[in-house]
Amino acid sequence: MGFVMFFIAGCRNENSKIHSTDITVEKKNAKIETPEYLEGKKYFNQYCMACHMQDGMGVPGMNPPLVKTSWVLGDKARLIGVVLNGLSGDIEINGELYSNSMGSFATLEDKEIALVLSYVRQSFGNDAGPVTQEEVAKVRASIK
Ligand code: HEC
């Protein structure tokens, strides 16, 4: 009898453990899909996806990937500069040469650029900190 009671208690314990793990997973997803993240995703789909693709993998030989590149994860001012100025000339990304050109997105607002770049830095397997509106404004002022 004592053994049976112990067994039931053990089962209950196991159930509550599974339950709390589910909650942790839910919280994790909720954290990444903030309104800011979803707004950044919207701008990405609108302005960048046609060339860099929905999964950020780009088009081999034409449009470089945005997955774990030094441009995306590295110096934020340089990354902001790509969006404000566009980019052309030969660049090598992950061992592949790209020589197409990307136009300027200077007509977007600082906030839109900050949100789209934060989205890119936190998607496609990237895990880097966000870009703020102030950081975009600073780079914009320096190239005027
Ligand atoms: C018309 C196609 C096109 C669009 C639209 C476009 N890009 Fe690009 N992007 C390119 C090409 C082509 C290059 C490489 C340019 C070169 O070879 O010098 C590039 C390079 C880059 C790079 C640096 C290289 C790398 O792969 O890390 C980043 C970052 C980037 N783009 C981000 C963006 C973002 C963010 C948007 C949307 C706001 C965007 N691009 C929209 C075509 C595009």
Between 131 and 24, name the one with better pLDDT. Answer: 131
CA of 12 to the centre of ligand 1 (A): 53
- Considering the chain, what is the average pLDDT of its residues? 86
Checking if the pLDDT of 16 tops 50, the result is no
Between 10 and 65, name the one with better pLDDT. Answer: 65
Mean pLDDT of 116-125: 96
- Looking at residue 33, what is its pLDDT? 84
pLDDT band of 3, cuts 50, 70, 90: low
Rounded distance, CA 13 to CA 4, Å?
14
On the 0-12 / 13-18 / 19+ scale of CB atoms within 10 A, 52 is buried
Mean pLDDT of 89-100: 94
Checking if the pLDDT of 112 tops 60, the result is yes
Q: Tell how far CA 141 is from the center of its chain.
A: 25
CA of 100 to the centre of ligand 1 (A): 9
Share of the chain above pLDDT 90, in %: 75
Q: What is the pTM of this model?
A: 0.83
For residue 117, give the ligand 1 atom closest to its CA: 35
- Residues flanking ligand 1, CB < 6 Å: 47-48, 50-52, 63-66, 69, 71-72, 79, 82-83, 87-89, 91, 93, 98-102, 105, 116, 120
Tens digits of per-residue pLDDT, 35-91? 999 999 999 999 999 999 999 999 999 999 999 999 999 999 999 999 999 999 999
H helices of 1-144, in order, are 2-32, 35-47, 49-52, 70-73, 76-85, 110-121, 133-143
For residue 50, give the ligand 1 atom closest to its CA: 5
How many C-beta atoms lie closer than 10 Å to residue 56's C-beta? 21
Fold of 33-143: Cytochrome Bc1 Complex; Chain D, domain 2 (1.10.760)
CA of 31 to the centre of ligand 1 (A): 27
List the domain boundaries for the chain.
33-143
Rounded distance, CA 90 to CA 107, Å?
25
On the 0-12 / 13-18 / 19+ scale of CB atoms within 10 A, 105 is middle
Task: Report the amino acid identity of residue 58.
Answer: G
Rounded distance, CA 14 to CA 29, Å?
24
CA of 83 to the centre of ligand 1 (A): 8
CA of 42 to the centre of ligand 1 (A): 17
- Looking at residue 30, what is its pLDDT? 47
